[in-house]
Structure 1
Amino acid sequence: MPYDDGLWSIGELAERAGATVKTVRFYSDRGLLPEAGRSSGGHRRYGPEAFDRLRLIRSLRALGLPVPEVERVLDRDGVLEDAVSGQLREVESQLTALRWREASLLLLRDCPPGERAERLRLVGAVASPPDTTALARFWRRTLPVRLPARTVATVLDSVVPRPPREPSPAQVLAFARLHELVTDPRLRRPEFRPAPPLPDGEYRPEVLYEGLAEAYTLASAQEHAGRRPGDGGALDCFVAAYAHASGVRDTPVFRRRLVGLLARHSGPVIQRYWKLAGGLFAPGEPVLGALHHHLSVALCAEVEARTG
């Protein structure tokens, strides 16, 4: 029962709020619950303001906000929206991790028994959800060392797939195999390094990659329109990127030479990378490896038609 002054002891406040005395004391010691006074024996006394504050604190904690965030919300106006947004981002991250774990478990449950050990090894080497550090590192080793940092960043955004938020078991397996591919220590050996897109020292990498970006954009638009890469400007832009980077003109002779260069550059490692990565990009997102392959095939067909 409350005292005649209408205030409550710590036990009475806890009982009214449905909390434990230990909880009320914890928040009170941190200065989150306003005291209305002290009893003659020096015990804390609380009023309705403390009761309302305690209910607010418990609501915030029920949403997952840590105590320091609760303190920020109580101390300053306008912080609640930021705190809730941050909590939503954390929850989304946790949900993505759970979805990857679920897809990984489904992958292991539904695969043939003879493949389970191998798939378990692959999946166990990747975090849930996975990060793309190893993939970015692979491309940094593959790209020309003279490429400007801003161009490297643009290329990485285009060639490194973002892990899907709701992956299928097949996507989990593809990412695990992709991770295994790019972390293979043998890739550091000279014989496993991809060939440069043009003979080393004979071209300007920045000009090449900026021109290729334009060609891939055109090719993607043409494919969405139901047209082949060789039907229009995408193929010409593709060839022009290599010609301008080399400081030469786009001629039939150059196109024949470029066919051979493209065949040497697209080695087995790069081909496998794009085979595995293709299904990890979002629907409608251009897959540069596929666009590059389509443009290369279109160029080869054109050259063969001219010389046939």
Structure 2
Amino acid sequence: MNGDALYSIGDLARRTGLTVKTIRYYSDSGIVPPTDRSPAGYRLYDIDALTRLDLARTLRDLGLDLAAVRRVLDREASVPEVAAAHADALDVQIRTLRLRRAVLRAVARRGADHLETALMHRLAKLSEDERHRLVHEFIDATFGDLDANPEFVAMMRSAMPELPDDPTSEQVEAWVELAELCQDPGFRTSVRRMAEFQAADRSGGDTTGLHHDLTEAVRARVGEALAAGILPASAEAAPFTESLTALYAHAFERADDGDLRRWLLARLEVASDPRAERYWQLLSVINGWPVPPALAPVFTWFTAALRA
């Protein structure tokens, strides 16, 4: 190609595949200014303009705006610098689109009305800091001024919802439900009662911790009773109940007597709100953790056996 040759807008259009209108727009914008003009006043372009136009088209096809294209063509920024900045911006857009897709799928699956759709969209758009702040505010409102079990409170504060960049519709739904749960006055009142019970236990000298092993032992023992079809109020349930109260007496360093059973029944009844277990199930879904097996049937059976 002759380096001194000059091309009309029509020539550039045929060589680049761009429309005359687009090339004229780039020319008017100063992206690809004309090299010269014909005697009749028509714009003419040299080989450098053709190269400049080809680069502008490539950058525009990659999604860069005209300001960024102009900076590259005017040598105010390099192609790698602009590409890196644009890639970062695309990452944000992609995360936003993925979140919108998950919300829309959740809306479709739930058959949400316009109010619920607006709520889901608002909650899903919260930043990670905003999500954490919402949950911490719930914990502060329910446990903040009480001397409750410090291990349990620390566990709650460390278990924050971490919605991934590409959430599933199930994770979005779980986050929306968790956010609603944390703001539910009835649930807050229920958790507050649990916190007050823990604080009263601590003032009475119970500083024995979370008792994960005890919970697993209860799950296994009551699981045997449930598998055998033993009703909690039946005579066959008595050995199971006695073995369980013995475990609690040992764990809490108390006598296995009527006072223990009354205390244990009160403890189970205070913690019986199924929404408390739902809280941890929702966190597991959001964070991609294994969802723990339901404990509600186990402690419902145990509570009924103690009452009997």
Taking structure 2 as the reference length, what is the TM-score of the superposition?
0.54
Q: Partners of 2:104 and 2:65 in 1: how far apart? A: 25
Q: Which has the larger radius of gyration?
A: 2
Change in 2 beyond 3 A, CA 1:5/1:119: closer
- Please state if 1:62 is matched with 2:61: yes
Deviations 1:58-96 (A, max 9, x none): 223223333334345543242123423432442353244
Query: Of 114, 132, 137, which aligns to 2:134?
Result: 137
Compute the displacement of 1:173 (Å). Answer: 4.4
Maintained 8 Å contact 2:136/2:157:
yes
For residues 96-175 of structure 1, the aligned pairs below 5 Å read 96-108=99-111, 122-127=116-121, 130-132=124-126, 133=130, 136-143=133-140, 144-145=143-144, 158-162=159-163, 165=166, 167-168=168-169, 170-171=170-171, 173-175=173-175
In structure 2, C-alpha distance between the alignment counterparts of 1:97 and 1:18, rounded to whole Å:
35
Residues 260 and 55 of structure 1: CA distance in aligned 2, closer, same or farther (over 3 Å): farther
Per the TM alignment, residue 129 of structure 1 is displaced from its structure 2 partner at its CA by 8.7
- Give matches, 1:267-306, under 5 Å: 267=273, 269-282=275-288, 285=289, 290=292
Contact 2:9 2:43 in 1 (8 A): yes
AA partner of residue 78 (structure 1): P
Q: CA deviation at 1:126?
A: 0.6
Q: Which moved more, 1:81-90 or 1:48-57?
A: 81-90
Q: Structure 1: which 5+ runs fail to align? A: 109-117, 220-227, 231-249
State the SS of the aligned residue for 1:160. coil
Partner in structure 2 of residue 6 of structure 1: 5
CA contact (8 A) 1:57 1:70 kept: yes
Q: Distance in 1 between matches of 2:157 and 2:29?
A: 47
Name the aligned partner's letter for residue 167 of structure 1.
T
Secondary structure in structure 2 of the residue aligned to 1:6: coil
Q: Residues 135 and 160 of structure 1 are in contact (CA less than 8 Å); yes or no, is this contact kept in structure 2? A: yes
Whether the 8 Å contact between 1:171 and 1:279 is mirrored in structure 2 is yes
Match of 1:78 among 73, 80, 84: 80
Check if 1:50 corresponds to 2:56. no
1:95 and 1:189 mapped to 2: Cα distance? Answer: 32
Q: Which residue of 1 aligns with 2:180?
A: 180
Structure 1 residues 189, 175: CA separation in 2 closer, same or farther (over 3 Å shift)?
closer
Residue by residue over 1:81-127, the C-alpha shift from the partner in whole angstroms, topping out at 9 and shown as x without a partner, is 3423432442353244224423532443xxxxxxxxx6775444211
Task: Name the CA distance, whole Å, in 2 between partners of 1:4 and 1:94.
Answer: 46
Equivalent pair of 1:11/1:21 in contact (CA under 8 Å): yes
2:145 & 2:65 partners in 1: Cα distance? Answer: 47
Which letter maps to 1:81? A
> Matches of 1:128 and 1:102 in 2, distance apart?
15
Give the Å deviation of 1:53.
2.5
Report whether the alignment pairs 1:87 with 2:90.
yes
Cα distance in 1 between the residues matched to 2:265 and 2:85:
54
**Alignment partners' CA distance in 2, 1:164 and 1:81:** 20
Rounded to whole Å, the distance in 2 between the matches of 1:103 and 1:162 is 15
Distance 1:263-1:281 versus aligned 2 partners, 3 A rule? farther
Residues 100 and 166 in structure 1, CA contact (< 8 A), matched pair in contact too:
no
Q: 1:119 to 1:167 in 2, by over 3 A?
A: farther
The aligned counterpart of 2:199 is 199
What TM-score comes out, normalization by structure 1 length? 0.54
Structure 1: distance between partners of 2:166 and 2:193: 31
Residues in 2 aligned to 1:153 and 1:188: alpha-carbon distance in whole angstroms? 20
- Please say if residues 136 and 160 of structure 1, whose CA atoms lie closer than 8 Å, have aligned partners that are also in contact: no
In the TM superposition, residue 270 of structure 1 has moved relative to its aligned partner by 3.1
| C-alpha RMSD over aligned residues | 5.1
Q: Distance in 2 between matches of 1:131 and 1:54?
A: 39
Aligned residue number for residue 39 of structure 1: 37
Contact 2:38–2:44 under 8 Å retained in 1: no
